[in-house]
Amino acid sequence: MAERGPTLAGRLRGCRREGPGEGLSRRDTVRAEKPQDILTSPSCWQHAVLLNRFNYSFELEKDLHFKGYHTLLQGSLPYYPKSLKCYLSRRPHRIPSERHQIGNLKKYYLLNAASLLPVLALELRDGEKVLDLCAAPGGKSIALLQCACPGYLHCNEYDSLRLRWLRQTLESFIPEPLENVIKVSELDGREMGDAQPEKFDKVLVDAPCSNDRSWLFSSDSQKAACRISQRRKLPVLQIELLR
Ligand SMILES: C[S@@+](CC[C@H](N)C(=O)[O-])C[C@H]1O[C@@H](n2cnc3c(N)ncnc32)[C@H](O)[C@@H]1O
């Protein structure tokens, strides 16, 4: 029987066990006692570093080990492809994001560690046809491509500004030859079933969410009011996208 590692909840709890004894200063120590502490303390957010296998850097991986990063969830899930390399820091630490440079592939993508869970749940295999229905800014599309080589990946995004962001993400992480198996569209996900009668082996629906956690830190009350009114309509949109 495969040995099971700690659960994600266990790893999240793990962040509050850090203490000065492990090389942290008192200021750095994470003081999350309850789940809501994790939501309200950005230092507890699980910033993960997803390595880009299309521009793998041994030096970067070595450096992450040196900085105390550890691999995420490896050995604790039935599906965890070897090609997926994701690292997490045990203490509050964030490495800077890389600048977009035309013609240069990025070495890593920063994401919330929990974002990988739906990607892993999809259990993507080589050659499968997959649809990422709400794809911008593209984190999960990138993560999918670290797991396997799909025969076809369709990335859709309804918001035109965010679509540009999605295109830029794909350009930054995916080598040109792979672009042939990727299609990007700007459709309303609710109408995709009729507009794109192709068949997919798997569909990822990362429906728009309230993003309440980030709004806890916003000081823009006007935007927040607008957000609250949009938030009321969210459940309906989410259900329509899932249908
Ligand atoms: C949670 S975000 C997706 C994050 C993305 N999967 C990632 O990992 O980077 C939800 C996305 O759904 C898009 N969206 C909202 N309404 C949509 C619709 N009707 N059809 C398709 N996408 C929609 C939003 O613009 C937003 O970019």
**Which pairs with CB-CB distance under 8 Å and at least 24 residues apart come from 100-107?**
100/168, 100/171, 100/172, 102/171, 104/172, 105/52, 105/54, 105/55, 105/172, 105/173, 105/174, 105/175, 106/52, 106/55, 106/172, 106/173, 107/51, 107/52, 107/55, 107/56, 107/57, 107/60
Query: What domain range is 183 assigned to?
Result: 42-206
Q: For a substitution probing ligand 1, which of 122, 153, 158 has the most ligand atoms within 8 Å of its CB? A: 158
**Gap from CA of 237 to ligand 1 centroid (Å):** 11
**100 inside domain:** yes
61 marked as part of a ligand binding site:
no
Residue 87 and residue 178 in one domain: yes
Residue 182 and residue 219 in one domain: no
**pTM value surpassing 0.85:** no
Distance CA(90)–CA(80), nearest Å, equals 21
The CATH number of the domain holding residue 99 is: 3.40.50.150
Check pLDDT > 80 for residue 225: no
Residue 69 and residue 180 in one domain: yes
Distance CA(188)–CA(134), nearest Å, equals 9
**Gap from CA of 101 to ligand 1 centroid (Å):** 25
- Give how many domains the chain has, as a whole number: 2
Residue 127 and residue 226 in one domain: no
**173 inside domain:** yes
Contacts of 8 (CB under 8 A, 6+ apart): 73, 113, 114, 117
Check pLDDT > 70 for residue 7: no
Q: Where are the beta strands (DSSP E) in 40-180?
A: 47-51, 69-71, 86-89, 108-112, 129-132, 152-156
pLDDT in tens, 91-118: 777 788 898 888 899 999 999 888 898 9
For ligand 1, atom 10: residue with the closest CA: 208
**Gap from CA of 35 to ligand 1 centroid (Å):** 26
Residue 57 and residue 171 in one domain: yes
Residue 169 and residue 108 in one domain: yes
Omega prior to 137 cis, within 30 of 0: yes
Ligand 1 binding pocket (C-beta < 6 A) is: 115, 133-140, 156-159, 162, 188-190, 206, 208-209
Q: What is the token pair recorded at 152? A: 């076809």
What local confidence, expressed as pLDDT, does residue 160 receive? 97
Residue 144 and residue 218 in one domain: no
Residue 146 and residue 221 in one domain: no
Q: What is the token pair recorded at 52? A: 């880009």
Residue 83 and residue 181 in one domain: yes
